[in-house]
Amino acid sequence: NFSDLHDLAQRFNVKCAVLDIEPETRKAREFQDAEPYEVWLCDYTDNPGTSMRWRDDNKTIMAYRTEALDVVHNMVAKEGLLEIPRRNDEVTEYARQMSHIAKVLEEDKETGGKTYWYR
């Protein structure tokens, strides 16, 4: 829940965060307004033609989901790009979630078009 997220941010001395705006948009905005550090809210599109857009006025990001996940995967896979706090329950859960995602090539049955998606 959001109070747990607040406590985690304090514990890990967060200076800036990006939070998925879905599925609780109202709660995400309340969290953004309440925190003392900069919080950006990210919404995703499945449209590969969409480039990442940052809106300073309301601290939101619109990102092509597959591209954003490619960037995160690169940070996790390459040594030295991501610093993770020492192992604890939260870090263990993060590692579990990060290891349960796969990039797959799917074909549209109607058009025959092929697109990569993270599942």
Instruction: Please write the tens of the pLDDT for every residue from 31-82.
Output: 999 999 999 999 998 887 778 899 999 999 999 888 888 888 888 888 888 7
pLDDT at 102: 80
Given a cut of 90, is residue 16 above it in pLDDT?
A: yes
pLDDT at 26: 94
pLDDT at 52: 85
Of residues 39, 51, 63, the one with CA closest to residue 118: 63
Given a cut of 80, is residue 85 above it in pLDDT?
A: no
pLDDT at 79: 84
User: 87 or 38, which is more confident?
Assistant: 38
Across 8-32, average pLDDT: 92
How many Å apart are CA 77 and CA 54, to the nearest integer? 25
pLDDT at 50: 79
User: 106 or 100, which is more confident?
Assistant: 106
Q: Look over the chain and give the mean of its residue pLDDT values, rounded to a whole number.
A: 87
Q: How many helices (H) and strands (E) does the chain have?
A: 4, 6
Q: How far is CA 8 from the centre of its chain?
A: 16
